[in-house]
Structure 1
Amino acid sequence: MTAPATVRRVGERSLLVELADEAAVAALYGWLRERQAGEAPGALDAVEEIVPAARTVLLDGVADVDAVTALLRTARPTAAAAASGPLVEVPTVYDGADLAEVATLWGVSEEAAVRIHTSPAYVVAFCGFAPGFGYLTGLPPRYGVPRRATPRSAVPAGSVALAGPYTGVYPRSSPGGWQLLGRTALTLWDTGREPAALLAPGVRVRFTAVRA
């Protein structure tokens, strides 16, 4: 790898790979998944799950620090590998309570804000907060927005929202402090579906504006 990675033991059977930034995490996660899919022998044989986060990748089921460190020295992750997952289109009604405020922060009209948000090709960087909630990257850094000063006690399921550099879709009603742009009718989390989560790390996402 061109960027340094630190491998640390987590419990008896997991390793945590610490990386420089989200781009390095996404590229390494994609590279590891490709290597697994290709059934390449070696240090990943015992890995049961690969879990990316903002600055780390957890390898569950493997405990050999030296073997994984040696493998990472041979890794050549690319941006293409990071964004190689399936594409999910999210039809969105852009009538969110914070759309006007976000447009003001961006210095554009509400219509332009919708165009800005629907333009990027997003990628699920990692999941957390609630089952089925993906942290999506792809919006240019200049469009990052702060969380609300006072979180809402209940955000409706399907709400499309922004916070910092991320876009997300609330999989169920829950408290939340993200800026609400709109809503989608898609079901993000369904335990009767396989897989239950519609969005998973590496999945590509496109938002499309639709009428109510």
Structure 2
Amino acid sequence: MSGSGYAQVATSTPDSLTTSATSADSLLNELVDSKETPALLPPHMIFTQRFFWGPRGVLRNLKVAPLTPEGRAHELKIRRTMLVSHQVMGFVTLAGFIAQGIVGAKLYDAKGESFGKLLNTHSTLATCVNITYTTTALLSLAAPPKMVLERSGFSSIKLHKYLAVLHIAGMITTNVLSGMIDSHPELKPYHRAAAYTTFGAFAASIIAIKF
């Protein structure tokens, strides 16, 4: 064999060894050993994910969550746990919405001592719903970003996100109007409409993601 022929075989050998890895473990090893930076984060993230988990996010700068293949594998497990908790808290919040709606409907026609008791119950439920709703939202907004891109076209996940924008706006509106009712009782119908809209959008978002 000539010297030039030997050189051609030698230079082609590393490439053939690299492309021969097909298992999940060997793929991870390729990512770790590669001299090129692998695409570990999706190109598009919501602002909260970018703040915490982006290439220059808080957790990266504090060295709490290094941007490595192993680190991203761990983050995806954290993401799954947070999103499962997000769903559970969503059902808890939905139950709170229903209870608050029942009490609120009775409150409109209540008078005297009954009105005072129902008002206290309604206020307590409102506080609980605000807490569970905020927790539900944060579990989704602060979860680590996913690994792959979303498929193009319409999906239940996208519908869930669109409805989330609606019920977040409704939640803010409901709380603002609630604080204004004492001095402006004429706002009660608008407060009621905002509350029902928020409940409807929230319930629809849960149905969309589950079914």
TM-score normalised by structure 1 residue count: 0.24
Greater share of strand residues, 1 or 2? 1
